[in-house]
Amino acid sequence: MSDNKQQSGFWKSLPGVFTALGGGAGIAAIIAAVIQVTHPSTPAQSNTPPANAATSSPVSQETEGKFTVAANSSLGKAFVNKQSSIRTFHFVANKDKWTYNSNLEPNGADGNINYSRATQKYNLPGFPEGSLIVRQKGEYHFIGHEQTLTLDPNETVFFTINDTGDNNNGGAFNDNQGYLTIEWNCEDCK
C-alpha cells in the first residue's frame, strides 16, 4: 500500500506533471508526423511578406533604376547586367555636382571644362578631368552626362570619376567631394 501512495504522489508532484506532459507531447508529435506522411498537404500561405520584399524582384524584370556614384570612392560604383543575355543599357547622369580637386569649383558628369584633356596620370587621359567614366573589362571609357553600353550577361562595370586614382593608389580620391545620381534603363529588355 505504501508503494501506491508513493506512485500517486509522484504523478501529483511537479516532476511528475512535467513527465506526463512530456510524454503526451511526444505522442502528439508522433501522431502529427504520421498524419503528415499519410496525408500531405500544401504548406500554409503566410500573409507576412519576406523581409526583402520591398527590394526583391525577379532578376529578369529589373529593367530600370538609379544609383549614386560617390566622387571619393576609388573603386567606383558597380553595375551588373543581371539579365541572362547580352543587353544594352542607357545611362543618364542628373545635374548633381562633384569635385575631384578641393581647390576647384564642382562640376557635373561632363567634367571640368577648363581641364578638358586629362594628362596621362589620369584614369582616362585625353578626356575631361572630373568627368563620369566607366571601367569595363579593365579599360576606362567616357560616359559624361549620357551614354549607352552593351553588357554581357552578369558583366560588372564600375562607374567612377576621372581622377589620378589608379596611378596614385587611390590617394587622389581623398579630397574628392559630392556624388552623381545615375538613372538607367535596359533598352532591349522589354
| Local confidence pLDDT in tens for the 190 residues of the chain | 445 544 556 555 555 555 555 555 555 544 554 455 444 443 333 333 344 333 333 333 589 999 999 999 888 999 999 988 999 999 999 999 999 988 889 999 999 999 999 999 899 999 999 999 999 999 999 999 999 999 999 999 999 999 986 555 556 788 899 999 999 999 998 7
* pTM check: above 0.75: no
- On the 0-12 / 13-18 / 19+ scale of CB atoms within 10 A, 13 is exposed
Residue type, 101: N
Whole-angstrom distance, CA of residue 103 vs CA of residue 175: 9
The per-type count for the chain, helices as H runs and strands as E runs, is 2, 9
Encoded amino acid at 105, one letter: E
